[in-house]
Amino acid sequence: MSNKAKYKTAPLKCWKKAKELRLKYYDDYAKAHERGGLRWAGGAWTFSAIPSGLGEDVVSLTSEPYGASIAYNKEFSLRCLEATEKKGYARDLCSYMRNYWGSILLDEYVFGGPFPKPDFLWQDHICCSHAKWYQVVSDLEGGIPHFCIDVAVGPYEEVAPHKVDYLVAQMHDGIEWLEKTTGRKYNDELLIEAVKNEFRSTSKWAEICALNKNIPAPLEEKTMYSLYVLGTLNKHDKSTADFYDELRDEVQERVAEGIAAIPNERCRLMSDTQPPWGFLSIFRYMEQFGALSVGSLYTFGLVGIWEDKPDGTWGPRTTPMDQGIEIKDRDQALRLYADWMLSKPEWQHFYSPHIKTEMMIRIAKEWHLDGVMLHYNRGCEGLSVGIAENRLGLIEAGYPVMAFEGNMGDEREFDEARVKDRFDAFMETLDMKK
C-alpha cells in the first residue's frame, strides 16, 4: 500500500472556538470572585451539574484537565512536581494531582496570576484515590469544605435500583451540604437545565466519535483531545452542548465530502489511556507512516455516553429528552443523572479488565482498526488498571498491539526517542514504511 496522499484534507473550522471556550473557562474561574460568584474544584468526572443549582455565577476548576494543562508547560510542570515531592508526596502518585498540588504550593496559576483558591470541593470517587486527592488540596489550602460521592457500585450491566438509590441519596445529601456550606438557596430549575445540558453534550460527543468509523476518518485523536476537553471542563454547560452540536454538523459535513484528518490514511489505530501531554508530537510522527489514531476508549468514553443501537453497533445514548421524558423535579433529575453517569464506558473497566477488553475489541471492529497502541501510563493507576490483561485480550482477538511506557503528566517518565523507536518497530511488523 503506498504512502501517498489520496484524500483531501482541511483544517477544522470549529477549532478556534474550542480553544476560546477552553481559555474562557479558566479565565472565568480566576475571575469568579471579582464577579461575586463562587468557585469550586473537583474531578472531571464529578456530577458537575449539581453545583449549578447554586446559581449561574458558580464556576469550577476540574483538576485532571488542569493538571494536563500544566504538563503541557514542561518548565512549569517540573517546578510543580518538585514542589509536591518536597512536601513529602510520593513520586508515583497521580501526576495530574502532583502538578495541581504543586501549582497550589507555588501559588501560581498556569494561566497567569496567583492560584485561585476554591470555596468548596465537589468530587466523586471510583479509583482508590479520587476522594483523597482533595484531602490533600484541603490540607494545602488550610482547610476547604469537601463533599464526595461514591459511584463504585459495580458495572452498568449489573445496575439495580439500590445502586442508583445509593448515588441519589448521596446527591441529596450533597445538595443539602452545598446549601449549608455556601449559605445559598438551591434552585432546582437550574439543576434540571444543567442536567439536560449534560445529557445533550455527552450524547453528542459520542455521536461525533461514532462518525470516525468512516474511512477516511474525519478526525484524528490529537485534534480530538482539543475538542473533548470541553466535556471534561464544563459538560453540564450550555456552551459545551451547543458547541458539540456545531461540531457534529461540521464533522458530518467532512464525512459527506470525504475530507480526511490525514491525506495518507492507510493504517488505523487506537490508543489507550491519557496521552503523555507534553509529547503530543508523537501523533504527528505517526502520520509519516500514514498511521493515525482514530480515538480510544479514553477519548470516546470518558466524556461520551453510549448505548447499543438496534443494528448492534455502538452509538450515542438516547437522551431522556429524546425519549420524551419530562424532568419535573429534583429527585427525578438526580435519578436520571445517576443512571446516565453509571453507563459511562470509562467507568466500567474499574471492575474488570475483561469488560474493557470487550469494549476495545468492539471499537477495533467497528472503527476498522489495524492495531492498538497501549500507553502503560505510570501517571494514572485508574486508567492503567488491568492494561496488561487488555493487551493479552486484544492479541488473542487478533489485533497487533504496541505497548509503550510513559506518563501523562510527568515528562521525566517519558522517553520520546524510545517511544518513537517502539513505534518504528511496530510499523515494521505491520509492513508500513515511511
Q: Which residues bind other proteins (CB under 8 A)?
A: 87-90, 92-94, 125, 127-129, 131-136, 139, 146-150, 152-154, 160, 162-163, 165-166, 169-170, 173, 350-354, 376, 378, 381-382, 384-389, 391-392, 395, 400-401, 403, 405, 413, 417-418, 421-422, 424-425, 428-429
Cell numbers for 277, please give them: 501531554
Which DSSP state fits 129?
A: S
Residue with cell 507534553: 278
CB of residue 85 to other proteins, shortest distance in Å: 11
Q: Which is nearer to other proteins, 34 or 431 (CB)?
A: 431
Instruction: Report, in Å, the least distance between residue 328 CB and other proteins.
Output: 24
Task: Select 88 or 312, whichever has its Cβ closest to other proteins.
Answer: 88
Min separation Cβ 431 and other proteins, Å: 9
Min dist. Cβ of residue 400 to other proteins (A): 8
Is the CB of 25 or the CB of 351 nearer to other proteins?
Answer: 351
All three cell numbers of 56, joined, read 449561574
Measuring CA to CA, which residue among 166, 193, 163 is closest to residue 51? 193
Strands (E), 364-427: 371-377, 401-406
The minimum distance between CB 343 and other proteins, in angstroms, equals 16
The smaller minimum CB distance to other proteins, of residues 66 and 147, is found at 147
Least distance to other proteins, CB of residue 304, Å = 23
Cell triple for 116: 485561585
Closer CB to other proteins, 109 or 120, in the complex? 120
What are the DSSP calls for 19-74, one per residue? Answer: HHHHHHHHHHHHHTTTTT-EEEEE-TTS-TTTGGGG-TTEEEEEHHHHHHHHHHSH
Q: What are phi and psi of 402, to 5 degrees?
A: -115, 125
Q: How many CA atoms within 13 Å lie on the side-chain side of 399?
A: 30
**Inter-CA distances, 383 with 23, 216, 378, Å:** 26, 28, 10
At how many degrees (to 10) do helices 188-210 and 238-257 cross? 20
47 versus 228: smaller Cβ distance to other proteins: 47
Of 7 and 166, CB closest to other proteins: 166
- CB 97 within 8 Å of CB 136: yes
Shortest CB 384 distance to other proteins, Å: 6
